[in-house]
Structure 1
């Protein structure tokens, strides 16, 4: 598998950063970092791994974020965790060798993140992890394994919240490696909020602000287990009797729920980034299993119920509008009705202010040029349970 070069970024006098993204949430995170590194006179090579590759999952995000075309596309595609991770590694290794950057920047917790961090670490190239230190404590989630391993490999660990910093320190990260910078997803949201709110998606679907609830489900634990899915759809039906619900769904999820959809719950086609923000901002309540939406609803001040047993973003609960309610039908319904009756006040964590990307660029300009030691983690450090 060969990396396909595309548009090249003009050379800059500063250090060379390779910025890697390949999945839909990570394009949102990459945009402010790409912009900030470029403004800080880094020479930036943007690599798209191809983990999400169709128009709905990739192309629309580039257009709506104003994200420049990637310099290299690995075209990894889909597959099992092992197949996808190995495809990204196989394609990224020769590209990294040819680019010889000063630092590789990865985001989040997807397979592309793990693959590129691992290749960089074995090649002796400095790596930086944006959104480091998030932990759900649930190792049945593949993303949790990815988070833990990537944080062990990276020399710069950029955390969104104080509890993420605490996780990294408990796992043995060197103090100089950990940086509390805020949330780059918030940078993108605040930059695009006015544009999103001007979108016609609500009237196009006959919706009015505060007159509906929003549902998103995509995690295998929710949509692939028939018993769990049936219970959640039953809960949605009870909630919809009090507040109609709209459910933008990827075709795979839509196919699983179409024959079981209760009255009052309406399926929509997948939506892009701006329409997603507009639907969240106008919702009376959001029910989701998405980590990113937990953060976005907190910034937007919209009540959110997370349909999981744990969250890697507890700050959205302690300092935001999110509640983790699990999957039990009665518990979900009871929590939703309570929120509809008495919504929580809007709250936003410190440093979620739209400037995280600039903080990251400023720190990397220092750590890369100073050549701080590569390994931030002491051997034999205990991983979080």
Structure 2
């Protein structure tokens, strides 16, 4: 079986790592195509080395641009690659422009498409990622859902016959790295200067267009982070850095300590060392939950509704409108009691993904 993976952004590289390892353990051929959607080395190259992912077989170098330009450039470049490789499966990951481009390029060439992390829904049609997810699910031949809730949502859209519960491959990586960090096999994370390594501190990330593209909202959110009662480690996504620079917004103020994006093992180590997480990232919401840290999500919705159970994750779309004391107590709240389920798939989801691809191969 020949599988061609299309990736292009940090969350996809994390998902790729266990899938590449599972495919390498069998008789299959795996071709990795990196679109270059995330062209910053801190968001791309470092993940290949840090997660022991094989180097990409093809790098398209798409780079930044508007959604249309980025998707179109990846779509055009993938045509040539797919016609040359003619894989048994084109495997696309998550919800980025690279995901949609890979799916569209494949279906127009009548190549089977499998969508890993299918069935997630925010029901926010203002999010570009929501359109990428829905369109990819409806054109894919095999929908690899990470959770039972994702399976249920796909069934309500009439896609149940193409859907399989695969489990969450990000859990495979997160649990493995967690165990290595706790065993002392990784050095302490490189936190921004001024963040006490032994804590307490909060870990924050901010990058979604809804939070960064409007200067007034971005200024208000940075002000809310700066007012928190604990030091805030902010590994700054290139999008955040670019928008803040363009708008003249100072990131390093108040409680905020700014640093570069973290390699994945450092990110896991930082979550484990923190007193809690504040983010708008879908992946980091899950990672905080699996690692036993509270998460405060600066969005009005989440695709990972399971993390809301028991108060592990709370949605706070407008923290700047809350009294400072209440906002601080909420972001730095203690971990709740009660059960906290492990990721669907129990750390073996990637092996199930490979088995499902084998079973569904044309």
Task: Name the CA distance, whole Å, in 1 between partners of 2:112 and 2:310.
Answer: 33
Task: State how 1:154-173 maps to structure 2 within 5 Å.
Answer: 154-173=140-159
TM-superposed CA distance for 1:237, in Å, is 2.8
TM-superposed CA distance for 1:165, in Å, is 0.9
TM-superposed CA distance for 1:35, in Å, is 1.5
Equivalence for 1:212: 201
Work out which of the residue numbers 236, 256, 268 in structure 2 matches 1:249: 236
Equivalence for 1:379: none
Q: Does the CA-based 8 Å contact 1:26-1:108 persist in structure 2?
A: yes
Work out which of the residue numbers 290, 297, 314 in structure 2 matches 1:299: 290
Work out which of the residue numbers 37, 42, 51 in structure 1 matches 2:28: 42
Work out which of the residue numbers 184, 187, 212 in structure 2 matches 1:199: 187
Residues 86, 319 of structure 1: alpha-carbon distance in 2 compared, 3 angstrom cutoff: farther
Aligned residue pairs, count = 352
Equivalence for 2:354: 361
Task: Name the CA distance, whole Å, in 2 between partners of 1:88 and 1:25.
Answer: 18
String of CA shifts for 1:236-279, please: whole Å, max 9, x gaps. Answer: 2332xx22211111345236175264412111122221211111
Residues 47, 234 of structure 1: alpha-carbon distance in 2 compared, 3 angstrom cutoff: same
TM-superposed CA distance for 1:341, in Å, is 4.3
String of CA shifts for 1:306-336, please: whole Å, max 9, x gaps. Answer: 0011111111213772111112424485355
List runs of 5+ in structure 2 lacking aligned partners: none
Give the match's secondary structure for 1:132: coil
Equivalence for 1:375: none
Equivalence for 1:146: 132
Q: Are 1:337 and 2:329 an aligned pair? A: yes
TM-superposed CA distance for 1:352, in Å, is 4.5
Equivalence for 2:165: 180
Q: Does the CA-based 8 Å contact 1:199-1:274 persist in structure 2?
A: no
TM-superposed CA distance for 1:339, in Å, is 5.5
* C-alpha RMSD of the superposition: 2.1
Q: Are 1:272 and 2:257 an aligned pair? A: no
Equivalence for 1:4: none
Residues 302, 251 of structure 1: alpha-carbon distance in 2 compared, 3 angstrom cutoff: same
Q: Does the CA-based 8 Å contact 2:206-2:237 persist in structure 1?
A: no
Q: Does the CA-based 8 Å contact 2:13-2:48 persist in structure 1?
A: yes
Residues 48, 196 of structure 1: alpha-carbon distance in 2 compared, 3 angstrom cutoff: farther
String of CA shifts for 1:48-102, please: whole Å, max 9, x gaps. Answer: 1111123112111111000111111222222111111111111111111111111
Segment of structure 1 superposing worse, 37-46 or 276-285 = 37-46
Q: Are 1:84 and 2:70 an aligned pair? A: yes
TM-superposed CA distance for 1:139, in Å, is 0.8
Give the match's secondary structure for 2:332: helix
Segment of structure 1 superposing worse, 112-121 or 221-230 = 221-230
Residues 284, 146 of structure 1: alpha-carbon distance in 2 compared, 3 angstrom cutoff: same
String of CA shifts for 1:173-216, please: whole Å, max 9, x gaps. Answer: 033x2111211111111222244453222678452344101110
